[in-house]
């Protein structure tokens, strides 16, 4: 019993306050109507009913209707100051009571509707807050996942760059004899021209013109040796990606110079068809050199086991208005598993890593191009396409 005392007291207080409100509103309506000496006394009593119902509830509104009917009967329906109803006065009170009850009901429904609307709005705001919190949490999680993915992609890119560097160094290590020969040629030329210069100067009548020409050749061969070393150092260097306008024909000539000794040693005949007005491409010079070096070395090695003519053809040409096409074709045996040729760790060489072609395709695709291979009946054909440089990244 004690546990229900607080709700009971609250209900009693609510009922009591509603009754007091009804009495106060009807009394106020009576007082103002009397003071105004109004010909139509009912409007203010309707207002009293509305206020009582709105702020006091249904019970307070019904009490206000009953009190207003009694007050009208006592003060405004003859005989005045008496509750004795006459037959003529009853329709007047009914005409007041029915609209008054209807007013009470409409006000109650209106208040209930507003309460429901307010409750729905509060519920909606709560749901919006919950949804907003969930969206914020999801956004934080998405940002964290994006950051993780970016870090993972950076790791993959660094790993691919390291693998490309390892492949490049491995290939150049295999070509060490050819590189040494390329560097040795200009150095020997420097020595020969230096000796000739001394002989021209040692004559009784020094031939200064011949000596000058010999010194010029020494300078030219020294610059040539320096350029060879620069190209080799660039290929050995594991530098970050640096894209710029690159001339493909120049890259092809650089790689043929580096591999010249290997080409001669394997008895390979080189044929180049380089389009003279070839537009530049946009890319990293060293990485594109690596792709060409890979294809040339693979072609030389593929033809090392055949007894017939060993022919290597390299062609560069425009491919429509937006691309440059490079073709490397050999006269070797071709390949038997074209679907796996660009797969990582797939190789047909006993001591191969199986990463060269895979890395080459990754490099070309990173430059917005495409690398593919086909069998041509009398050898393999590797081609890659790169977009033309348009003056911006």
* pLDDT tens over the chain, length 393 residues: 455 555 557 667 777 887 888 888 888 888 888 888 766 777 888 888 888 888 888 888 888 888 888 888 777 777 777 766 665 667 777 777 788 888 888 888 888 888 888 888 888 888 888 888 888 888 888 888 898 888 887 776 666 666 666 666 666 555 565 566 556 666 766 777 787 788 888 888 888 888 888 788 888 777 767 766 665 665 556 555 678 899 999 999 988 887 887 888 889 999 999 999 899 999 888 788 878 888 898 888 888 878 888 999 999 999 887 899 999 999 888 877 666 677 654 455 545 445 577 778 888 888 889 998 888 777 889 999 999 987 754
Q: Which of 56, 51, 49, 29 is nearest to 41 (CA)?
A: 29
Q: Are the beta carbons of 65 and 100 closer than 8 angstroms?
A: yes
* Alpha helices per DSSP H over the chain: 5-36, 42-56, 58-75, 90-174, 176-202, 208-236, 248-258, 260-265, 285-303, 356-366
Whether 383 maps to a domain, the answer reads: yes
251, 393: one domain:
yes
Q: Can you give the residue range of the structural domain that contains 26?
A: 2-131
Length of the chain: 393
Q: Which of 304, 306, 294 is nearest to 353 (CA)?
A: 294
115, 187: one domain:
no
224, 314: one domain:
no
360, 258: one domain:
yes
89, 191: one domain:
no
Whether 150 maps to a domain, the answer reads: no
Number of structural domains found in the chain:
3
220, 309: one domain:
no
118, 181: one domain:
no
Which of 189, 211, 237 lies at the terminal end of a domain, its last residue? 237
Whether 47 maps to a domain, the answer reads: yes
Which of 237, 268, 291 lies at the terminal end of a domain, its last residue? 237
Radius of gyration of the chain from Cα atoms?
51
Q: Which of 180, 181, 178, 212 is nearest to 197 (CA)?
A: 212
Can you tell me the distance from the alpha carbon of 225 to that of 257, in angstroms, rounded to the nearest whole number?
11
228, 281: one domain:
no
262, 382: one domain:
yes
250, 374: one domain:
yes
Q: Are the beta carbons of 284 and 316 closer than 8 angstroms?
A: no
Which of 237, 261, 290 lies at the terminal end of a domain, its last residue? 237
320, 374: one domain:
yes
CA distance to 126, 130, 140, 141, per residue, from 133 (Å) = 10, 5, 10, 12
């Amino acid at each position: 019993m004690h546990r229900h005392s607080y709700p009971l007291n609250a209900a009693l207080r609510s009922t009591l306050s509603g009754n007091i409100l009804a009495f106060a509103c009807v009394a106020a309506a009576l007082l103002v109507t009397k003071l105004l000496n109004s010909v139509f006394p009912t409007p203010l009593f309707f207002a009293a009913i509305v206020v009582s119902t709105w702020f006091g509830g249904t019970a307070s509104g019904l009490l206000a209707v009953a009190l207003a009917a009694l007050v009208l009967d006592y003060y405004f329906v003859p005989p005045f100051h008496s509750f004795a109803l006459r037959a003529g006065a009853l329709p007047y009170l009914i005409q007041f009571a029915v609209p008054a009850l209807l007013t009470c009901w409409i006000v109650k429904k209106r208040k209930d509707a507003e309460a429901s609307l307010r409750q729905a709005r509060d519920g909606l705001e709560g749901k919006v807050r919950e949804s907003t919190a969930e969206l914020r949490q999801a956004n934080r999680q998405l940002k964290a996942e994006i950051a993780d993915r970016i870090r993972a992609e950076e790791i993959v890119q660094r790993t691919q760059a390291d693998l490309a560097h390892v492949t490049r160094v491995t290939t150049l290590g295999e070509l060490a004899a050819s590189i040494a020969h390329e560097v040795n040629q200009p150095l020997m030329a420097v020595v020969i021209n230096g000796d000739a210069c001394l002989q021209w100067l040692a004559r009784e009548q020094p031939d200064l013109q011949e000596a000058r020409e010999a010194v010029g050749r020494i300078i030219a061969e020294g610059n040539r040796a320096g350029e060879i070393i620069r190209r080799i150092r660039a290929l050995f260097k594991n530098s970050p990606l640096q894209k710029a306008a690159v001339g493909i024909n120049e890259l092809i000539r650089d790689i043929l110079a580096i591999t010249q000794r290997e080409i001669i040693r394997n008895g390979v005949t080189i044929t180049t068809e380089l389009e003279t007005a070839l537009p530049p491409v946009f890319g990293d010079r060293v990485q594109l050199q690596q792709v060409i070096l890979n294809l040339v070395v693979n072609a030389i090695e593929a033809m090392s086991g055949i007894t017939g003519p060993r022919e290597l053809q390299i062609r560069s040409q425009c491919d429509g208005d937006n691309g440059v096409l490079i073709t490397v074709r050999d006269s070797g045996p071709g390949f038997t598993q074209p679907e796996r040729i660009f797969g990582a760790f797939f190789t047909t060489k006993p001591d191969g890593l199986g990463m060269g072609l895979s890395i080459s395709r990754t490099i070309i695709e990173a430059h917005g191009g495409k690398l593919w291979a086909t069998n041509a009946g009398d050898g393999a054909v590797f081609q890659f396409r790169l977009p033309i440089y348009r003056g911006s990244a």
